[in-house]
Amino acid sequence: MSDYLSNVVIKNSNINFGTSGARGLVTDFSPEVCGAFTANFLKVTMGNYSFNTVAIGIDNRPSSYDMARACAAVIEFMGFKPLYCGVIPTPGLAYYALEEKIPAIMITGSHIPFDRNGLKFYHPNGEITKSDEVAILAENVPFSMPVILAELNVCPAASEKYVERYTSFFPQNALVGLRIGIYEHSSAGRDLYPQIFSTLGADVVSLGRSDSFVPIDTEAVSAEDRQRAEEWLHEFELDAVFSTDGDGDRPLLSDENGQWLRGDILGLLCSAHLGVTAAAVPVSCNSIIAASGLIPEVVLTKIGSPYVIAALESLLNKFENVAGFEANGGYLLASNIHKSGRTLKALPTRDALLPAVTLLVSCQQKKISAQVQALPARYTSSDRLQEFAASRSAALLEKVVADANSVIKDFGLHNISVAGMDMTDGVRLQLDNLDIIHLRPSGNAPELRCYAESTTSDKADELVRMTLIAIKEKF
C-alpha cells in the first residue's frame, strides 16, 4: 500500500474541473489522482448524505476501466462498497444513483479525444454543482492505494433500470412502422439502444460499430458523419438515424432525409411534445427557443450542465413541468412528466435518449423535417479550433471586448457593425444585420468554439467557417 494526501496529489496533477466534470490528459489521470478526487468527493458527500454503496460507470475509452479500478480501491479504503456498473451511458448511471439514493462516479471524457478522459460526480440527489467542485478541491484526505488494483465484476442493475425507464413510459407500439438506424461507433450505450428501440416496436439497423474510440462531438458534426447519415438513409431505407457522443448524454438524430438536427432544436421540439412550461438553456442556443412561444418561460445560462441545473432549481419553485437542454442536445428533465397514465421520473442530468425517442414517436403523426420547417427561420451552426491554447483564446476575447467592430472586419465582415455584446459565457456578438457570432473557449480541452446564428443554415455555416479561418490565420 502507498499513502497519499489528496490535496497534494490534486494540486500536482494538471487535472481541473471544466464545463462538466474533471477533465485532462490520460497520462495525468494516474491511479493516485483518480483516488484523490474520489477521496475528496466522498468526504464532501459524507457530510450531507448517508450511504454505504458508490456506483461506478465507464465509457469505452481504453483508459476508463483502469481509472475505475483506482476509484473502486479508494471507495473501499474510505469504508464503502464500490458497485461497478460497467460500460453504461452517463445518464443511465445517474438515474440509477438517483433511484438508489447513492453517490456515483462516471469515468468519461464525453466527446473529447481518447488521449483525454474525465471524472463526473453525482450525489445521491443528482449531479454535483459548481460549489461542490470548490468544496471537493478544498478537502485534504489521507488515503492509501494498493500496489495492484483489483479486477471489477459488472453489475447489470443500472443498465436494466435505464432501459426500463423508457420502455415503461412510452407505449410498446410507439415506434411500430419505423425503421431506425443506430450509429453505434464506440458509444457507451450502443448495446442498450437497440433493445430500447426494438421493445418500442421499431425495426432497428445497427451501423458503424467501432472497436476503437470515436470522439463524436454533437456540436461539431464532421462532414464525414453528415454524408454517412444521408447514405445510410438511402442504402437501408431508414426513417431516421440515431446516435450519441461517447458517453451517451448528447444525442444525434437525423430527419427522414438524413439531415442531423441541431441539439437545441431537438430540445425545443421535445419540450413542446412533453408540455414543458419552463426551460433553462445556455446562451449559445438558438434564439427561436425563447421567440417561438412553444415554451412559455425560457431562462438563459452560462454553458455547462451545472449552470443549467442551478437555473432549473429556481424554475421548479414557480412552474410544474420544467426541463433544460443545451446546444449539444443534452436534455435535463427537472420534474416528473405525466402522460396517458404513465410517469417519467425527473432526471436532471444530460440525457440523449429522451429527446430522440420523443421526437421519433411524434414523427408518426408529422415528419421530423416538417416539424423543423414549421419553426421560425433562424439557423445555428458551430465548430471549433482544436489545440487552441487557453491563453490564446483569452487574448482573442480581450481584443473582441476592446474593439469588436475592428475584429469582425478581420473576420471578413465589412459594412456590418456590432449592435450588442453578451458576456454571459465567452463573448456573444449581436450584429446589426441580426446575425450572431459567439466565441467561447472550451472548459474541457484546449479548444475555441464558435457558434453562429443567421437566417439560413448556409449563412450560419459560412459565418462559423470564415470566423475560424480568420482566427487561425490572424490571431
Catalytic annotation, residues: 110
- The CA distance from 190 to 196, in Å, is 11
Spatial CB neighbours of 399, under 8 Å, sequence gap ≥ 6: 407, 475
Spatial CB neighbours of 26, under 8 Å, sequence gap ≥ 6: 61, 63, 114, 115, 116, 117
Count other C-beta atoms under 10 Å from residue 402's C-beta: 9
Say which residue the cell 448524454 belongs to: 249
Q: Closest by alpha carbon to 244, among 378, 379, 108, 98?
A: 108
CB 126 within 8 A of CB 94: yes
Let me know if 87 is exposed, middle or buried by CB neighbors in 10 A (0-12, 13-18, 19+): buried
The cell for 364 is: 408518426
First to last CA, the chain: 50
State which amino acid sits at residue 212: S
